[in-house]
Structure 1
Amino acid sequence: MNEDNNNRTKWIHLRLSPDEYAKVHSQFKRTTARKLSEYARKVLLSKPVTVNYRNASLDELMTELIKLRNELTAAGNNFNQAVKKLNSLSQISQFRDWLIAYDSDKQKLLDQIEEIKNHIAETSKKWLQS
C-alpha cells in the first residue's frame, strides 16, 4: 500500500503591512476557500480560485422579504389567537354570529399569508442557487 503523502511539512513565513494584510484578507473572504492558508496556497501555486459574487440589491431584497415573512407570520398568529379567544365566548349569541361571519375572512387571510410565504421561499431557493 503506497499512499500519496500530502502532509505539508514546509513553512513559508511572510510579513505584510496592515494594509497589505487587509487587502489579502478581503480578497480571501470573497472566495470559497475555508482558510486563509488554503487561499494563499492556491494563489502561490497558480491554481484556480473560486470567487463568490453577490448581487447587493438582491441581498437587500432578501432582507426585506425575510422581515415581511416574519411580520406576516406574526399577524397570522395574532389573528388566529384572537379568533380562538372569541370562539371560547360562544355562549354570547352576538359573538357567535360574528365568528361565523369572520371565519371565512380568517381563512382567506391565512391562505394569502401562506401563499406569500411560499412565494418568498421559492424566491429564496432561486437566490441561493445563483
Structure 2
Amino acid sequence: MEKKTNKWISIRTKPGDYDAIYNRFQQTTCRNLSQYARQVLLNKPVVLKYRNQSADEILSALIGIKNEISAIGNNYNQEVKRLHTLKDSPEMLTWILSNELRHKQLLDFIRDIFFKLEKIHESCMQK
C-alpha cells in the first residue's frame, strides 16, 4: 500500500509559465496537476493522450447514424401502434398511403448510411 503524501512543495510561476505547465498537464493521462508535477520532478515517464483524427471522424459519423436510426425506430413504433388501433377501419387505407412517403424516406436514409459507410471504408483503406 502506498503511503499518503504529506510533504508540500510550493513554487511560484508567472501566469504564462503556469498556463504552459497546465496545458502540458492536460495533454497527459495524469489525474491532477500534483501527480503530473511529481512525475516530471522525479524524471518518471509521463503518458500523453493520443488523439486519432480519423477515428474521431468515424466515431462522430457513427454517432450521427445511431441517433438517426433511433429516431426512425421511435417513429416506426408509434406508427405501428397507430396501425393496431385502425384494424378494420376505413382510415387504414389512408394510413397506408400516407406511410408510403415515410417508407421512401427510410429507404433514402438507408442508402445514405450505406454511402457514408463506403466513404469511411475507403478512407480507412487509404491509410
TM-score range, shorter chain: 0.5 to 0.7
Q: What's 1:8 paired with?
A: 5
Query: How far apart are residue 62 of structure 1 and its match?
Result: 1.4
CA distance in 2: counterparts of 1:5 and 1:71, whole angstroms: 49
Q: Residues 108-119 of structure 1: matches in 2 within 5 Å?
A: none
Q: What's 1:127 paired with?
A: none
The answer to which of 4-13 and 73-82 deviates more is: 4-13
Q: What's 2:36 paired with?
A: 39
Give me the identity figure in percent. Answer: 45
Q: Secondary structure at the match of 1:81?
A: helix
Query: In structure 2, do the counterparts of structure 1 residues 93 and 7 end up closer, same or farther at CA, with 3 Å as the change threshold?
Result: closer
Matched, 1:51 2:32: no
Q: Residues 42-81 of structure 1: matches in 2 within 5 Å?
A: 42-81=39-78
Q: Structure 1, residues 57-110: CA drift from partner, whole Å, max 9, x if none?
A: 3223312321221121111210221122022101226727x86xx9xxx8xx7x
CA distance in 2: counterparts of 1:93 and 1:7, whole angstroms: 76
Query: One-letter code of the match for 1:30?
Result: Q
Q: Structure 2: 5+ residue runs without aligned partners? A: 118-127
Count of residues in correspondence between the two structures: 103
Q: Secondary structure at the match of 2:48?
A: coil
Q: What's 1:82 paired with?
A: 79
Moved over 6 A (4+): none
Query: One-letter code of the match for 1:31?
Result: T
Query: How far apart are residue 39 of structure 1 and its match?
Result: 0.5
Query: One-letter code of the match for 1:92?
Result: S
The answer to which of 39-48 and 61-70 deviates more is: 61-70
